[in-house]
Each structure stands twice: as C-alpha cells, then as structure tokens.
Amino acid sequence: MPKSNLQFISSHPAPYRIIISGGGTGGHIFPAVAIANELRRRQPEAEILFVGANGRMEMTRVPEAGYDIVGLDISGLQRRLTPQNLLFPLRVIRSIKRAGKIIEKFRPEAVVGVGGYASAPILLAAASRGIPALIQEQNSYAGLVNKLLGRRVDRICVAYEGMEKFFPKNKIVLTGNPVRTEIASGDRAEALTFFGLSPTKKTLLVIGGSLGARTLNEATAAALARLQAADVQLLWQTGKLYHATAQEQAAPFAADGIRALEFVQRMDLAYAAADVVVSRAGALSVSELCLTGKPSLLVPSPNVAEDHQTKNAMALVRRQAALLITDAEAPARLYDEALSLLADEPRQHQLSVNVRQLARPDATAAIVDELLTIMDRR
C-alpha cells in the first residue's frame, strides 16, 4: 500500500477540480471529508464540491467541515409500499438531470463516490461524459449503489479482501478506509477537561453510529446505576432521536461523570478519554478503533444488508483484536462484559496491541493516489 512519504506525484495541471458524492450517515460522510482534506493538503487551491441528498446529515456536516455542498432530491426505496416509493422513479430521473447540470457547471476532472443515494446520479453522469470516476467502498459487503456502478467507474478502493464477488477484479485496489488521522491524536488530559471527567476514574465510551442505536441506548440506560457503583465514567453518544430521553436518564448521575451526548463532534478527544469502547461495527467505527488502538466490545447492527457489520466485527475478533456481543445478547450481557473488561488491564492491553496491527493509517493517501492516477490516464 502506498505510504504517505511515497505519494503519487500527479502531472495533472493544477488546481484539481473534484466532485465527491454520497452520504446519508457518518460512515459515508467522514471518509468523504477525509479524502477532501487529503486533496487540500496536497493542493490547497483544489476546488472541491460535495453532492449530497437533501434532508440528510451531509447537508450540515459537510459545511461544518469547510466544504461547499449541493443537494439532490433523492432518497432510497422503502421496504413497504408508500407514496415515496411511487415517486421514486421520477426523483431518480430528476436527480440524474440535476447531476448532469452540476457536472456541466462545475466541470470536474474526476468524481468520487462514497456510497449513499446521492452518489449514483453523479457517478452515472460522470461516466456518461467520460470523466474519471472512483468508488470508495467501506464495508465487507458492498452497498447497492456501488455494486450497480462498479462496472461503470475506473477504480474501486476497498477496505476488505474478497471483494471480487461484487466488483470487477481488475478495478479493485485494497486501500483500507479513509479515517481522519487527527482522530488518533487527542490528548487525554485535554479530553478529560473538555468533557468534565475525572483523571482518577475509568471511562467507557459508547457510540452507536451517527444516528444512534436503540439496543445500545436501552442497555446503557439500564446500566447507569451499575456504572455509578463501579466508579466508571461514561461518554454516551445517543443519536438525535434518543437524546432527550437519555439526558433525563443520565441527569441523576451527572456528578459521577455520566454524560449523554447527542453527537460527539470531537471524536479525537472522546477516544483519548476512553479506556474501553462499546460500538456498533460499521466500517468507519472499526477503522477508527484500529487507528486509535482502543480495546472494544462490538455489537453489530442486525438491520444491515447481508449482516455486514458482523463480518466487519469478525475481521477483528478472528485476530483477537476485539470482543463481540450480538444485538440479541446485549441487553443481558453487554455491561457484564464491559465492566469485566474495564477491570482487566492486561486484557485491554492485548486487545489494544492486536487491533493496532490492523490499522491502515495511509488509507486516505492511497485512495487519493489512485484518484490522481486515473486522472492522469485520461
């Protein structure tokens, strides 16, 4: 894999003009921002435009990261018959036309798709115009949009081996997932001050993904008194829908370092503060745990295509780099295991050592190298 000190040097004239498309969840958005940051690091004058789906979280998170974004009026199919499903074909047609107009106005030299509804129209519009296009697939089971468009793009950057069952083998490059490198640079003392925590207590971080996780939230709420009794502090990312309820549940324990947070903007500090992490097993979360070297208990979501979060988690469990609790087991077992791990420092250390060996800190640089390569070949 390319290393940061051996980066591809592009002969393409400056500045780069790149569109990055996709979103819907943090698992798509944050890798996209990491790619944009690497492009800007190499060429500060690069012109980068994001394309997302109106009403989804990328429309706020991307501007917060300092980039322009335009939205398409597109959404996915519902699992039941709804008026939105009846309008789906019309929205797709409109989005493809809108994507074409965006490309004609912005005139990108390459397009990157990171998954999510909004990436399909832009990638299709780019491919039909002969514009170099790259897909970044985060998961061990490819998303529907990426699978459908794999044959139309020039390069597919993946994080797991065995992706030939989804994509043309000659287009695949194993790079790992792009993770913001600053995620692993948080200072523990600063983190404890930032969150108002004690330096003498163990700290548990619970993250259910950018949208929250019902099972983790309910199990955590039921365990608050146990955490207090064990003198354990908690950083609990709840997601938007559960946050008000979680705040009420956590309020009686606030003086003991129990924090219910809707969304953690400073994840670098959250990881720095944490002794142990409880997390879903989305691709981004798994990659961040590898980079930060945090001992973790993974609770894969059962509500994902082909149970791909369990496959993500097992890539760590097989290397003795994480522990796995199923979603069904979590209400009864999760906090028994979490408290046991918090009390077992040798086990924490071994998990930390093993998970760091799986990190790909140069993944973002490798993806940008591939992007510049396909630009140069056109």
HSE-CB at 53 with a 13 A cutoff on CA atoms is: 22
Q: Which residue has the higher pLDDT, 290 or 10?
A: 290
Across the strands, what pairs with 111? 19, 133
Amino acid at 282: G
| 94 annotated to bind ligand | no
| 32 annotated to bind ligand | no
Instruction: Mark out the alpha helices in the chain (DSSP H runs).
Output: 26-42, 58-64, 83-106, 119-128, 144-149, 188-195, 214-229, 240-250, 267-273, 283-292, 308-317, 330-342, 345-356, 363-377
Across the strands, what pairs with 70? 51
Check residue 85 and give its pLDDT.
47
| 309 annotated to bind ligand | yes
Rounded Cα gap, residues 250 and 236, in angstroms: 9
pLDDT confidence bin for 5, thresholds 50/70/90:
very low
> Taking the chain, what is the end-to-end CA distance rounded to the nearest angstrom?
23
Check residue 14 and give its pLDDT.
66
User: 3-state SS of the chain: helix, strand, coil percent to 5?
Assistant: 50, 15, 35
pLDDT exceeding 90 applies to what percent of the chain? 72
Superfamily grouping for domain 4-177+361-377:
Glycogen Phosphorylase B; (3.40.50.2000)
Rounded Cα gap, residues 333 and 181, in angstroms: 33
Rg value, the chain, Cα: 21
Q: What strands lie across the sheet with 323-324, from one edge to the other?
A: 258-261, 232-237, 202-207, 276-279, 296-298, 323-324
**What mean pLDDT comes out for the span 5-28?**
73
The answer on pLDDT for 203 being more than 50 is yes
The answer on pLDDT for 30 being more than 60 is yes
Q: Minimum mean pLDDT among 55-64, 76-85, 237-246, 274-283: which range?
A: 76-85
Q: Which residue has the higher pLDDT, 249 or 304?
A: 249
Are 39 and 10 contacting, i.e. CB atoms less than 8 angstroms apart? no
| 139 annotated to bind ligand | yes
HSE-CB at 100 with a 13 A cutoff on CA atoms is: 9
The answer on pLDDT for 2 being more than 60 is no
pLDDT exceeding 70 applies to what percent of the chain? 91
**What mean pLDDT comes out for the span 18-47?**
90
Check residue 211 and give its pLDDT.
67
Instruction: Mark out the alpha helices in 43-132 (DSSP H runs).
Output: 58-64, 83-106, 119-128
What is the chain's mean pLDDT, rounded? 90
The answer on pLDDT for 1 being more than 60 is no
The answer on pLDDT for 255 being more than 90 is yes
| 10 annotated to bind ligand | no
Check residue 49 and give its pLDDT.
97
Per-residue model confidence as pLDDT tens digits over 94-141: 888 999 999 999 999 999 999 887 898 999 999 999 999 999 998 888
| 284 annotated to bind ligand | yes
| 286 annotated to bind ligand | yes
pLDDT confidence bin for 78, thresholds 50/70/90:
very low
| 288 annotated to bind ligand | yes
| 285 annotated to bind ligand | yes
Check residue 275 and give its pLDDT.
98
Q: Do domains 4-177+361-377 and 182-356 have the same CATH topology?
A: yes
| 114 annotated to bind ligand | no
Return the domain boundaries, the chain: 4-177+361-377, 182-356
Number of helices (H), then strands (E), belonging to the chain: the values are: 14, 13
Question: Is the model's pTM score more than 0.75?
Answer: yes
Nearest CA-CA partner of 268 in 190, 178, 350 = 190
Check residue 84 and give its pLDDT.
55
pLDDT confidence bin for 212, thresholds 50/70/90:
confident
Class of domain 182-356: alpha beta
| 287 annotated to bind ligand | yes
The answer on pLDDT for 8 being more than 80 is no
Nearest CA-CA partner of 239 in 211, 219, 259 = 211
